[in-house]
Amino acid sequence: MPSLKDIRKRIATVKSTQKITRAMKMVAGARLTRAQRLITELRPYAVKTQQVLSDVTAEGRKDLVEAQRAAKAQGTALPADDGEAHPLLDVRPESSVLIVILTSDRGLCGSFNVSICKRAEQEWHRREADGQEVTMMVIGRKGRDYFKRRNAPMEYLPDVWDKLDWEGARKLGRQILQPFLSPAAPGSAKAPKRVDSIYLVYNEFKSAMTQKVTAERLLPVADVDDAPKPAEDEQKTEFLFEPSEEGLLDQLAPMYVQVSILRALLESMASELGARMTAMDAATTNATDMISKLTLQYNRARQAAITKELMEIIGGSEALKS
């Protein structure tokens, strides 16, 4: 049984830890308010950007389908899609895949990092079993350490979380796009290996207590079936391209990629802060319960020690009387 001194030291240690966890909870809660506001403001913009891009690409496909249908009815030659697709809309067979994984630099946030890493690891092994070549770009030291221990084919992108803004998302977007836009047969040994698609794995923020691990395709963006559908009562938009559809896509497609990356980063940051606030709240509650149990144990041990001393005093007094 521990001595009274040991129990007192343990109570003092738990109280110190409780102060730290309570302070971390308050800091995470204050930062979460700002992060939640940022992601709430960006979400409609990101969704609308994806919807507009989907409508623009669908408009071009619809014109081609209507022209082919009219030519078939007249018995003339079917027009071909002789225009080259935008590089970011180029759909290729997925023989090589890049997975971008968003984790945090610090721990003490519950299962936030473990859930992301396990989901990414499942994607990695599943795609390799299907014969695909998988490479990874990892953001966050926790993800780097996790996949380094498993000898994963990865590249670590440092210092991403130091500054989250539009310029940072643009730089990160250019770095992520390089493997997708790389030529099929690079002439230089330093050119990045070409990939056919890029996926993002991150935690989508639902609430301070709920985060959803999401694996979504970033590139190519030509699959309009996965785009957000407009409301039933929303009027269908008709587009007139000026100066041209290609010129619009040259601006819209990179902007969609940058907005999607910035949204994933903000979602991940808000999720991390929510998970940390929840974890520190649970740690503070557990520390309170532990202090109560240790205090009860201390009082019982102290009572037993006092009783023992009284018994010794009474026994000595009786011995002197006899």
Query: H or E stretch including 24?
Result: helix 4-74
Known catalytic membership, residue 117: no
Distance, in Å, from the CA atom of 150 to the CA atom of 27, rounded to the nearest integer, reads: 33
- What SS3 class is residue 192? coil
Confidence (pLDDT) at 192: 64
Confidence (pLDDT) at 258: 87
Residue 183 CA, chain-centre distance (Å), reads: 29
The per-residue DSSP string of 260-300 comes to: HHHHHHHHHHHHHHHHHHHHHHHHHHHHHHHHHHHHHHHHH
* φ and ψ of 133, to 5 deg: -90, 125
In this structure, the strands spanning 211-219 and 197-205 are: antiparallel
Instruction: Report, as ranges of residue numbers, the positions in the chain whose pLDDT lies below 50.
Output: 64-65, 67-68, 77-83, 224-225, 227, 233
Q: Which of 28, 56, 101, 109 is catalytic?
A: 109
CA 146 vs CA 99, 101, 115, 141, 143: distances in Å: 15, 11, 11, 9, 5
Q: Looking at the domain that runs over 30-228+238-279, which CATH code has it been given?
A: 3.40.1380.10
Contact predicate 226/215, CB 8 Å: no
Domain range annotation of the chain: 30-228+238-279
The first and second tokens of residue 109, run together, are 């946030």
Let me know if 152 is exposed, middle or buried by CB neighbors in 10 A (0-12, 13-18, 19+).
Answer: buried
Confidence (pLDDT) at 169: 85
Confidence (pLDDT) at 246: 72
Let me know if 292 is exposed, middle or buried by CB neighbors in 10 A (0-12, 13-18, 19+).
Answer: exposed
